[in-house]
Amino acid sequence: MTSKTKVVTVRLTDEQYTFFNDWQKKLQAQTGIEVPMGAVIRRALEGFMHFASSQNRQESPDLREAQDRLQASKEYVTEYNQKMRSDKMTIDNAEYKKGFAEHYEEGRPVWDIGKPQAPFIEIADRIKGPILDVGCGSGSVAVFFAEKGNTVTGIDLVDKAIERARAKAAAKGLNVSFQVKDAFTLIESDWRFPSIIDSGLFHVFARDLERQRLYVEALAHVIEPGGTLYLLAAKDQPEGSIALSGYSHDELVDAFSEGWKFESIKEFMAEVTPEIAEKHPDVEWSTWFAVIKRRV
């Protein structure tokens, strides 16, 4: 066999197409890269050649070439995945860390109402641990769920937030694992959780599609198949509103379109700290609360 490539058109029956299509999806899920249909069919042929050759119990040049090609494609996929992984980790959140740290240095941040927002309280009994609270801030939500008997881990980018969260749990005699950790590093983690809470982190990336993608991938990595994400994120705001502008309904749904299923999504008015409420009595803090399941 020469190394020259021949392009041929093949006509598949519906049954063959379904077979190759399923296989293509499986390969894509395993490798995390787009696998063209032609490559799937080529692999099937190589497998067949291998099988035929082993049946004949003879080493054929065709088989050697097929094996070389398989080896080369395996190396390519490994390298590609390593590159993707290191690209993911180059995301630099130093500016975010600095910005959020300033909020905590100044005292009580504007979002810190000292308890979970109402939708979390409404469905609290449905949320089962172990729970990961991503961007847990000063820990009020994590502590609330730990008080209900759940095992809870809370992570935040800012040291001061985690210091406060630890103090809050200690004051109540609760054992909550609070760690300073960048949510994007979850893509490398061995952790797995049936329930994840995000109360106000995802909306930080509302204008940053790349961060949205990487963040959602990181969550997908640590959530168990069939697990549930409880997400609170600001809604997009009308022109001129001083409320934090987040996502339109469609933007939110699009961000979780691969491998997730929305169980519910509703709009509600978020509570703000008394100081902010007094300062801006007419502002509507419209917010999304979504329950999103990871497909099995």
Q: Does 214 bind ligand SAM (CB under 6 A)?
A: no
Question: Which residue's CB is nearer to ligand SAM, number 24 or number 199?
Answer: 199
Cβ 122 to ligand SAM shortest distance, Å = 16
Question: Which residue's CB is nearer to ligand SAM, number 35 or number 127?
Answer: 127
Question: Which residue's CB is nearer to ligand SAM, number 22 or number 105?
Answer: 105
For ligand SAM, the binding residues in 189-208 under the rule CB under 6 A are 199-201, 204
Question: Which residue's CB is nearer to ligand SAM, number 66 or number 161?
Answer: 161
Question: Which residue's CB is nearer to ligand SAM, number 13 or number 86?
Answer: 86
Q: Does 231 bind ligand SAM (CB under 6 A)?
A: no
Cβ 22 to ligand SAM shortest distance, Å = 37
Rounded Cα distance between 155 and 177, Å, is 8
Cβ 188 to ligand SAM shortest distance, Å = 14
Cβ 261 to ligand SAM shortest distance, Å = 24
CA diameter of the chain? 84
> Token match 């959780």: residue?
193
| Cα distances (Å, whole numbers) of residue 193 to 18, 31, 165, 226, 295 | 33, 23, 20, 10, 14
HSE-CB of 39 using CA atoms within 13 angstroms: 13
Choosing from 66, 146, 158, 196, the residue that interacts with ligand SAM (CB under 6 A) is 158
Strands (E), 141-192: 152-156, 177-180
Rounded Cα distance between 227 and 283, Å, is 35
**Cβ–Cβ under 8 Å, residues 112 and 137:** yes
Choosing from 66, 127, 132, 136, the residue that interacts with ligand SAM (CB under 6 A) is 136
Q: What angle do CA 138, 240, 277 make, to 5 degrees?
A: 40
For ligand SAM, the binding residues in 89-108 under the rule CB under 6 A are 93, 96, 100
Q: Does 216 bind ligand SAM (CB under 6 A)?
A: no
44 CB-contact burial (10 Å; exposed 0-12 / middle 13-18 / buried 19+): middle
For ligand SAM, the binding residues in 56-95 under the rule CB under 6 A are 93
> Token match 């790349």: residue?
210
Q: Does 141 bind ligand SAM (CB under 6 A)?
A: yes
Cα four-point dihedral sign 261, 264, 267, 268? negative
Q: Does 112 bind ligand SAM (CB under 6 A)?
A: yes
Six-digit token string for 72 = 């080369």
Q: Does 157 bind ligand SAM (CB under 6 A)?
A: yes
Tell me which residue of 246, 245, 248, 254 sits closest to 292, measured CA to CA: 254
Question: Which residue's CB is nearer to ligand SAM, number 111 or number 145?
Answer: 111
Question: Which residue's CB is nearer to ligand SAM, number 164 or number 294?
Answer: 164
Q: Does 177 bind ligand SAM (CB under 6 A)?
A: no
Rounded Cα distance between 122 and 115, Å, is 13
Question: Which residue's CB is nearer to ligand SAM, number 50 or number 108?
Answer: 108
Site residues, ligand SAM (CB under 6 A):
93, 96, 100, 111-112, 135-137, 140-141, 155-158, 161, 182-184, 199-201, 204
